[in-house]
Amino acid sequence: MGRIVINAALCKGCYLCVEACRKKHIEIDDHLNAQDCYPVREAPNTECTACPRCATVCPEAAIEVFHD
Amino acid sequence: METNVFKRPQALTDTPTHYCPGCGHGVAHRLVAEAIDHFGLREHTVGVASAGCSVMMYKYFDVDTIEAAHGRALAVATGIKRTHPELTVFTYQGDGDLASIGLAETMHAANRGEKVCVIFINNAVYGMTGGQMAPTTLLGMKTSTTPTGRSLHREGSPLKMAELLSKLDGVAFCQRVSLHDPDQVYEAREAIFRAFEAQLEGLGFSFVEVLSACGTNMRMKPSDAQKWVANQMCQAYPLGVFKDDEA
Amino acid sequence: MTERCERKTLTMGNIAVAEGAVQAGCRAYFGYPITPQNEIPEYLSARLPEVGGIFLQAESELASINMVLGAASTGTRVMTSSSGPGISLMQEGISFLAGSQLPAVIVNIMRCGPGLGGIKPTQADYFQATRGGGHGDYRTLVFAPGNVQEMFDFTVCAFELADKYRNPVMILADAILGQMREPATLVPEHPPVEYDKSGWILNGAHGRPSRNIRSMYLEGDGQEELNYVLQQKYEQMEEEEPRHEERWTEDADRLVIAFGTSARIASTSIREAREEGIRAGLFRPITLYPYPKKALRALTKHIKKILVVEMNCGQMLEDVLAIVPQGVKVAFHGRPGGGVPTHTDILEKLKEL
């Protein structure tokens, strides 16, 4: 099992990570960040496999991935 | 025991980029930084920025960097590498810079076998100036200076830099990659690592052409721009290794 | 000095520049062939490797000057040389050197233009050299040698001042000075002065924070601030670097102002004038930027008649007119397009003053 840490302050809301995740573990937050973007967050009740496709496509290097 | 399987490379600063959402520059920067970390080069590297969106890469790379005049990155890199061969030198250039105004510098640095790495971002458009035609703009593609689409008879066909450069004896490594999905990014990472490896082994000029999305100037949302790269760019610009002296 | 006199050899001007660079510690040269300066790269292609330096023939002058910029960013003493059309191509790079505060020496062995022009000598690149030449608010320090010895000596000095100010320095000579042979001593008067560059060079951020060299400062008033930094350097140059030579000025009632080859010819005319009882003197600027304004103004306290002689249609003339006070008569004699003023023509003009 895995876990991700999103640096929401860096997120610009391109949502490429949302598309990249096969487990639908990432969703769009409903609060704006300091860059005036709706950043991404972990979706509740979903799992992370630490694959790490989301971090791979993130242009802001805003996602860290951990594996048990 | 939890392990960190993906973290921000040390060769990147913590500064948020000025790039548009979904821009390929961010991913390409990170891959170069990963290579610098991997080979332990953070204190032994000089990066040469070119005119274009990535001119401000000095803010994002935690290595020594210099800004070159439009098209002259490989001349600047030559001056650095020739006088300081112990440094690892890379240029980071867009398509207008490398394939249009700097074509002579590109061809001659490659032909001399300058032992530098070139990260060539091909997004088929002039990004920073607002979406004008690039030497790599696809046939039929509309830009702000080709309102009816690029025409073979008026503007000529897109320049295929990886194919051109692979014919030169001085080129040790030449590959075209794309960033349009995670698997392609893994490939791109491998290519950029091999390019740095080729320089460290003193093999010659190493070149990675990176197909990248400019959603803003394509008037597309980031995910659609990625699909456009996958469907249109990758057809016009076949991916693959065109030359590898290591292999 | 004795040693310098003893060791004189018959030397071509272009070779004196090239060897001066080596003696100054220049360890990299990038250039592209163009007449009448080809002896410089030819000589250095063999000489620089002997001292562990780098010689590279570039694909163009555009590439040359940007290779120079790259080498300069690492702290290497570096030079390029060219003439007319090639120097024009280098202007963007010279602007980048000035904006990036990088030291380099650029040699212009002038040939006549405009356009492709020809290979005959000229002084028509005075404006280009002294006004910066490229885009933006910058200056290059400009030396105008007048003989082969000075081609050597000023080249050594050019490297020192380039490092002192972190600014490009130009040697502005012409085809005659480049091609002529004279006895000269290819030993510097003193060991070349070195400057500590550790605070700004790019050498891989080893044990220090990474740094950047650039000319673009987009945030806030950064670009304006950079320009004030540059202007401070130019003010310091104006204060510390103007150089000139005066001959026969003590009792002179009229003055020839000329640099380089024109000054040599004018010297003959002045000697002839003096034989005829005309008390003429010579004012020869050695630095064309910064111009030796104070020295010239001082002379105009007692000399009220001036003849400016140039191998162009009147470029330094504009500086002279801006410097001398009202009431001083300024005449001009120039030959453009490869024409060389004769000593008899200058003598006639002196008499007419």
For residue A59, give its domain range.
Answer: 2-67
CA torsion, points B147, B149, B153, B155, in degrees to nearest 10? 70
Taking CA–CA distances from C208, the nearest residue in chain B reads: B43
Q: Per the confidence metrics, is the pTM higher than 0.95? A: yes
- Is residue C1 pLDDT above 60, yes or no? no
Q: pLDDT per residue over B54-101, tens digit each? A: 999 999 999 999 999 999 999 999 999 999 999 999 999 999 999 999
What is the pLDDT averaged over residues B194-203? 98
Which amino acid is located at B160 in the chain?
K
- DSSP class of residue B139 equals B
Strand partners of residue C300: none
CB contact under 8 A, C63 and B75: yes
CB contact under 8 A, A56 and B19: no
The shortest CB-CB distance from C212 to any of B65, B68, B87 is to B65
Q: How far apart are CA A18 and CA C158, in angstroms?
A: 60
The domain that holds B112 is classified in CATH as: 3.40.50.970
Q: How far apart are CA B21 and CA C296, in angstroms?
A: 61
CB contact under 8 A, C210 and B65: yes
pLDDT at C7: 82
Angle between helices C148-165 and C222-240 (to 10 degrees): 140
Task: List for chain C the helix, strand, coil content (%; round to 5).
Answer: 40, 20, 40
Q: How confident is the model at residue C260 (pLDDT cuts 50, 70, 90)?
A: very high
**Kind plus residue range of the DSSP H or E element containing C283:** strand C280-285
Contact of B222 with chain A, judged by CB distance below 8 Å, is answered with yes
Q: pLDDT per residue over C114-132, tens digit each? A: 999 999 999 999 999 999 9
Taking CA–CA distances from B12, the nearest residue in chain C reads: C210
| Contacting residues for C314 by C-beta, under 8 A, at least 6 apart | C308, C332, C334
**CA dist list (Å): C321 to C129, C172, C242, C300:** 18, 21, 18, 12
- Is residue B1 pLDDT above 90, yes or no? no
- Is residue C6 pLDDT above 80, yes or no? no
Q: Chain B: list its partners (3+ Cβ pairs within 8 Å).
A: A, C
Nearest-Cα distance to chain B for C307, in Å, is: 42
For residue B174, give its domain range.
Answer: 24-244
Asked if residue C242 has a cis previous peptide bond (ω within 30° of 0), the answer is no
Nearest-Cα distance to chain B for A4, in Å, is: 9
> Which of the two residues, C7 and B160, has the higher pLDDT score?
B160
Q: pLDDT per residue over B25-52, tens digit each? A: 999 999 999 999 999 999 999 999 999 9
* Interface mutation target, options B4, B6, B20, chain A, most CBs of A under 10 Å: B6
The domain that holds A58 is classified in CATH as: 3.30.70.20
Chain C residues contacting B via beta carbons under 8 Å: 27-28, 30, 54, 56, 58-60, 62-64, 66-74, 76, 78, 92-93, 96, 100, 202-207, 210-216, 218
Quick check: helix, strand or coil at residue B196? helix
Give chain B positions within 8 Å (CB) of C28. Answer: 79, 82-83
pLDDT at C3: 61
Tokens representing residue C118 in the block? 């020809």
Nearest-Cα distance to chain C for B2, in Å, is: 31
Into how many domains does chain A fold? 1
CB contact under 8 A, C100 and B87: no
Tell me the Ramachandran region of residue B22: left when phi exceeds 0, alpha when psi lies from -120 to 50, beta otherwise: left
User: Domain for residue B10, yes or no?
Assistant: no
Whether B90 and B45 have beta carbons less than 8 Å apart is answered as: yes
Going from the N-terminus, what domains does chain C have, and what CATH number goes with each? 2-240 (3.40.50.970), 244-352 (3.40.50.920)
pLDDT at C173: 98
- Rg over alpha carbons for chain B, rounded to the nearest Å, is 17
What is the pLDDT averaged over residues C228-237? 98
CB atoms under 10 Å from CB of C114, counted, come to 11
| Contacting residues for C265 by C-beta, under 8 A, at least 6 apart | C258, C309, C340, C341, C342, C343, C346
pLDDT at C5: 66
What rounded mean pLDDT belongs to chain B?
Answer: 97
pLDDT at C161: 98
Answer whether A touches C (≥3 Cβ pairs < 8 Å). Answer: no
pLDDT at B246: 77
Which amino acid is located at C55 in the chain?
F
CA dihedral for C87, C88, C91, C93, sign (positive or negative): negative
pLDDT at C2: 56
CB contact under 8 A, C93 and B72: yes
Into how many domains does chain B fold? 1
Tokens representing residue B104 in the block? 């002579």
CB contact under 8 A, B16 and A2: no
Give chain C positions within 8 Å (CB) of B116. Answer: none
Nearest-Cα distance to chain B for C211, in Å, is: 5
Quick check: helix, strand or coil at residue C274? helix
3-state SS of C252-273 is CCEEEECCHHHHHHHHHHHHHH
Nearest-Cα distance to chain B for C43, in Å, is: 19
Q: How far apart are CA C110 and CA C142, in angstroms?
A: 13
Tell me the Ramachandran region of residue C205: left when phi exceeds 0, alpha when psi lies from -120 to 50, beta otherwise: left
CB atoms under 10 Å from CB of C225, counted, come to 11
Asked if residue C114 has a cis previous peptide bond (ω within 30° of 0), the answer is yes
Strand partners of residue B244: B173
| Contacting residues for C255 by C-beta, under 8 A, at least 6 apart | C249, C280, C281, C282, C283, C299, C303, C305, C306, C307
What is the pLDDT averaged over residues C141-160? 98
What rounded mean pLDDT belongs to chain C?
Answer: 97
Quick check: helix, strand or coil at residue B120? strand
Instruction: Give percent of chain A with pLDDT exceeding 90.
Output: 97
Strand partners of residue B210: B121, B177
Whether C186 and C152 have beta carbons less than 8 Å apart is answered as: yes
Give chain A positions within 8 Å (CB) of B23. Answer: 59
The shortest CB-CB distance from B108 to any of C63, C93, C206 is to C63
Q: Which of B160, B172, B157, B140 is nearest to B211 (CA)?
A: B160
Q: pLDDT per residue over A13-54, tens digit each? A: 999 999 999 999 999 999 999 999 999 999 999 999 999 999
- Secondary structure E strands in B130-180: 132-133, 171-178
